[in-house]
A and B are shown apart, each in its own frame.
Chain A
Amino acid sequence: MSTSPTFTLDGREIPFEAGQTVLQAALTADVYIPHLCYHPEFKPHGSCKVCTIKADGRHVSACTWPARHGMVVENATEELDDLRRTLVQMLFAEGNHFCPSCEYSGHCLLQAVGYDLQVETAGFRHFFPVRPVDASHPEVWLDLNRCILCELCVRASDEVDGKHVFGLSGRGAGKHLIVNALSGRLADTDMAATDKAAEVCPVGVILKKKAGFRVPIGERPFDREPVSAQAARYAPRPPARHREED
């Protein structure tokens, strides 16, 4: 008989190891909880709230909530999916997400989560914010229209690359991604296309030049399978193995 601790997720027993969060344990057990700012190689951030679950009746972020033996978790309920849809709709309304011309379309996690949650419209009034494109760097360009402020690039540049190229500035609706250079231009940082920060953006703000549209429509990652079916690919595992498989 197994003695490993478990919690129930929508009635299913999920085993976990000490220190795992609900999202990590669920993904390890191949159960999908919608999420955007979580990345298996980084410390959970808990900012997008798309992974909101009900743990013992409380709304919490699955990516940061520690798994506890005997806990009762609700995930795939209409109430929670409604909340998640609203969050995704707000992200679409507050940025400029023009999917038809975006080279990250079909690779984009925001788009894939939208498909999975059946988000058919942003619903709200679109902000149409004025945000610049920074194409100053020879290898990497930035399209800030798509930024969802998940801070994955900030975390990657700080923790993996040790370069501190990105940061968030401002508060509330004025919060935005900035580049750590006096000029504010990416060309004036030591960013390189091989940096971890150049590969973690879930929505196509940070893109490598001369690589767009290489994968034909129909064969892009989220053309093939919905994000919920690819959940195992995001399961916690050593970074080296993760990169090799991708």
Chain B
Amino acid sequence: MATPAPRLKVATTSLAGCFGCHMSFLDIDERLFELLEHIEFDRSPLTDIKTCGACDIGIVEGGVCNAENVHVLREFRSQCRILVAIGACAITGGLPAQRNHLDLADCLREVYQTDPGTPGGRIPNDPELPLPLDKVHPIHEVVRVDYFIPGCPPSADTIWKFFTDVLAGRTPTYPHGLIHYD
């Protein structure tokens, strides 16, 4: 009897993202059972494992907006054989990058000090808070990325197409209807 192929280790994370891509991933619904015959999760919001072990596939949602994002992204790159950017924010910076045309200090002052809703407020400076970066970056500007799954979020069918292609040893492609930037 043939021994089943070892399951691929998959890690996922959300950096400067909204977890919408993770929700869309869960939206593959009952196909998750089939997928779990081929993969097992390492670090992921789905397992609550906090550090990334050696993995076959690392899936990163969200862009890079603070020092912690850089740290996690570098950990994923060093531990994962295949690194995947999922969604508009990881690929383009997305919504968080809409602050890139503003001065960061002005943003913080506006939100925490000058806004009428925060009288006497001050800019948070707890050492546990990761320092925000001057600009928000797509993840390919920080590490090498192997595959991209565009969409905001990519549909469950698009994510399923990615997994079925990769598990079959094919380069993932997204025909009309599965490739979207919105």
User: How far is it, in angstroms, between the C-alpha of A15 and the C-alpha of B166 when the chains are bound?
Assistant: 43
Chain A stretch 95-126: residues in CB contact (< 8 A) with chain B: 96-102, 105-106, 111, 114-116, 118, 120-123, 125-126
Residue of B nearest to A223 (CB): B177
**B85 at interface, CB cutoff 8 A:** yes
Q: B85, B92, B145, B152: which has the most chain A beta carbons within 10 Å?
A: B92
Chain B stretch 104-149: residues in CB contact (< 8 A) with chain A: 135, 137-138, 140-141, 145, 147-149
B179 touches A120 (CB 8 A): yes
A98 touches B94 (CB 8 A): yes
**A225 at interface, CB cutoff 8 A:** yes
Among candidates A118, A120, A128, residue contacting B101 with C-beta atoms closer than 8 Å:
A128
B181 touches A105 (CB 8 A): yes
A118 touches B181 (CB 8 A): no
Residue of A nearest to B97 (CB): A128
Known: A106-B182, A121-B145. A225 touches B176 (CB 8 A): yes
Q: Which residues of B contact A225 (CB under 8 A)?
A: 176
- Size of the A side of the interface (Cβ < 8 Å), in residues, is 28
Within the complex, the shortest CB–CB distance from B155 to chain A, in Å, comes to 11
**B93 at interface, CB cutoff 8 A:** yes
Q: Which residues of A contact B100 (CB under 8 A)?
A: 128
Known: A121-B145, A122-B92, A126-B92. A111 touches B181 (CB 8 A): yes
Within the complex, the shortest CB–CB distance from B73 to chain A, in Å, comes to 15
Q: B93, B179, B181, B182: which has the most chain A beta carbons within 10 Å?
A: B181
**B98 at interface, CB cutoff 8 A:** yes
B101 touches A126 (CB 8 A): no
**B88 at interface, CB cutoff 8 A:** yes
**B91 at interface, CB cutoff 8 A:** yes
**A226 at interface, CB cutoff 8 A:** yes
Chain B stretch 75-103: residues in CB contact (< 8 A) with chain A: 85, 88, 91-95, 97-98, 100-101
**B160 at interface, CB cutoff 8 A:** no
Within the complex, the shortest CB–CB distance from B9 to chain A, in Å, comes to 24
**A182 at interface, CB cutoff 8 A:** no
**B66 at interface, CB cutoff 8 A:** no
Within the complex, the shortest CB–CB distance from A130 to chain B, in Å, comes to 5
Within the complex, the shortest CB–CB distance from B138 to chain A, in Å, comes to 6
Proximity string of chain B (148-182) to chain A, C-beta cutoff 8 Å, 1 when within and 0 when not: 11101000000000000000000001101101111
Within the complex, the shortest CB–CB distance from A119 to chain B, in Å, comes to 8
A126 touches B138 (CB 8 A): yes
User: How far is it, in angstroms, between the C-alpha of A115 and the C-alpha of B176 when the chains are bound?
Assistant: 7
Q: Which residues of A contact B85 (CB under 8 A)?
A: 121
User: How far is it, in angstroms, between the C-alpha of A125 and the C-alpha of B180 when the chains are bound?
Assistant: 21
Residue of A nearest to B100 (CB): A128
B94 touches A118 (CB 8 A): no
Known: A125-B141, A126-B92, A128-B100. A118 touches B179 (CB 8 A): yes
Given A100-B94, A111-B181: 16 more A-B contacts, CB < 8 Å:
A98-B92, A99-B88, A99-B181, A100-B181, A105-B182, A106-B182, A111-B182, A115-B176, A115-B179, A115-B180, A120-B150, A120-B179, A121-B150, A126-B137, A128-B97, A128-B101
| 21 residue pairs A–B, Cβ–Cβ below 8 Å | A98-B94, A98-B98, A99-B182, A100-B94, A106-B182, A111-B181, A111-B182, A115-B176, A115-B179, A115-B180, A115-B181, A120-B91, A120-B147, A120-B148, A121-B85, A121-B92, A122-B92, A122-B138, A126-B138, A128-B93, A226-B176
Q: Which positions in A face B, CB cutoff 8 Å?
A: 92, 96-102, 105-106, 111, 114-116, 118, 120-123, 125-126, 128-130, 217, 223, 225-226
Nearest 3 pairs of A and B residues by beta carbon:
A99-B181, A100-B152, A120-B148
